């Protein structure tokens, strides 16, 4: 479940708006946008105005599971601290969250465009995972999963453990291979 700051930032960026432009549209000052994106001053009416200013609405889904935007923020935080094992755990948790839900609720978990993790391989992996798990239920994919920044020019691994062997193409889910991420299918098997 994305927090308000993640939703506001994702909505603003999905429309390619600056904080000042969103503030104008929402009839608020830029400082209110900044505070809301940092998790401060995020009352419901402010959140609603900011999302509406970006052309979005706030909906509730019957789940308490974190979405792709929240997982990407956690991955970014873990990568910044040099903890690739925990970054992978956040990606695997997103996988588990997507598998635990079905239909519309699964789609909602992939809907909000995640901010960059700071690493193109991980960005492509998040998009690949959402495309894979939504596609498994024939749920329409959000546009962000097919943006150019979600594809790698040269296939690469997530490089969590340098001893990990490169998987053969037959062991990589199609959605990962299409985006240039070499990840073992078994990595995402439920335990």
Number of structural domains (the chain) is 2
Same domain, 90 and 178: yes
What are the average pLDDT values for consecutive 10-residue runs of the chain, which has 191 residues? 73 84 90 85 79 76 86 96 97 96 92 92 98 96 95 94 92 98 92 57
Task: Give the predicted TM-score (pTM) of the model.
Answer: 0.76
Please check whether residue 81 lies inside any domain of the structure: yes
Range of the domain at 167: 68-188
Domain presence at residue 62? no
Residue at which a domain ends, from 12, 28, 53: 53
In this prediction, residue 117 carries a pLDDT of: 96
Burial of 173 (0-12, 13-18, 19+ CB in 10 A): buried
Closest CA to 101 of 140, 56, 142, 139: 139
Give Cα 160 distance to the centre of its chain: 19
Please tell me the predicted confidence (pLDDT) of residue 61: 67
Is residue 116 domain-resident?
yes
Q: Is the domain of 98 the same as that of 140?
A: yes
In a domain, 97, yes or no: yes
């Amino acid at each position: 479940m994305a927090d308000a700051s993640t939703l506001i930032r994702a909505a603003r960026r999905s429309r390619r708006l600056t904080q000042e432009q969103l503030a104008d549209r929402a009839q608020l000052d830029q400082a209110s946008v900044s505070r809301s994106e940092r998790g401060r001053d995020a009352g419901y009416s402010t959140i609603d105005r900011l999302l509406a200013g970006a052309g979005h609405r706030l909906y509730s889904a019957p789940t308490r599971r974190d979405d792709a935007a929240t997982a990407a923020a956690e991955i970014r935080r873990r990568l910044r601290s040099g903890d690739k094992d925990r970054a992978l755990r956040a990606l695997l948790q997103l996988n588990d969250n997507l598998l635990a839900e079905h239909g519309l609720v699964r789609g909602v978990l992939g809907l909000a465009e995640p901010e960059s993790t700071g690493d193109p391989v991980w960005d492509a992996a998040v998009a690949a995972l959402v495309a894979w798990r939504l596609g498994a239920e024939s749920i329409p994919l959000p546009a962000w999963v097919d943006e150019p920044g979600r594809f790698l020019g040269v296939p690469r691994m997530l490089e969590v453990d340098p001893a990990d062997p490169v998987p053969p193409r037959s062991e990589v889910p199609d959605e990962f291979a299409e985006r240039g991420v070499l990840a073992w299918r078994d990595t995402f098997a439920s335990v």
